[in-house]
Amino acid sequence: MRKCGRPNLAVTRLLVAAFAALAALVSAAVYTGLRINTSYSLPLGIYVRTSDSNARLIEFCPVEPFATESSQRGYRTHGAACSDGAVPLLKPVVAVAGDRVVLSPAGMSVNGRLLPKTAPLTRDWAGRSLHPWPFGTYVVEQGTVWVASTYNRGSYDSRYMGPIKISIIRARLRPLWLL
């Protein structure tokens, strides 16, 4: 019969090794610019930072009041990357300076093309009220972009936040490995 209360040395070593491997993996991901996406706005997978200034996928920390709303509602998980204590958003850029965006109950149109799955929702997955950006026609201004997921209709993006300032973009990304 085994005595209780004394840790098994093999189990302790295994736990220490697993923790060290996880810490090394996280450090490598930060150093190499890898991002693991587990949100529903994009396909699940690994994305990597790119120096391509035209890359159509961006990482940014939303500004107020959208930062607080997205964090408190659980649209973003807790983390240290953004000043509000949550992780950044990863979103596809759908419109750039000079493009014409029409936001309506039917969804977001860019240069006359309606983007799939972009009709603003009135409630989120938990039944909480959502407030879309004012419906209308916008010409994207210099220094801003519009972002939207055509992957998931429940994405929190420019349908609710409006244009995103280029100055808050933390990184441009490209898919590396998708599930």
Q: How many domains does the chain have?
A: 1
Q: Is residue 152 part of a domain?
A: yes
pTM of model > 0.85 = no
Is 105 in contact with 119 (CB distance < 8 Å)?
yes
Q: What values do phi and psi take at 27, rounded to 5?
A: -60, -45
Q: Is residue 4 part of a domain?
A: no
- Residue pLDDT, tens place only, 87-111: 999 999 999 999 999 999 999 999 9
Can you give the residue range of the structural domain that contains 55? Answer: 9-178
Domain harbouring 151, CATH code: 2.10.109.10
Q: Is residue 3 part of a domain?
A: no
Q: How far is CA 92 from CA 58, 62, 72, 145, 149, in A?
A: 6, 14, 23, 10, 6
Q: 100: which 2 tokens?
A: 């014409």
- Residue pLDDT, tens place only, 38-58: 888 888 899 999 999 889 999
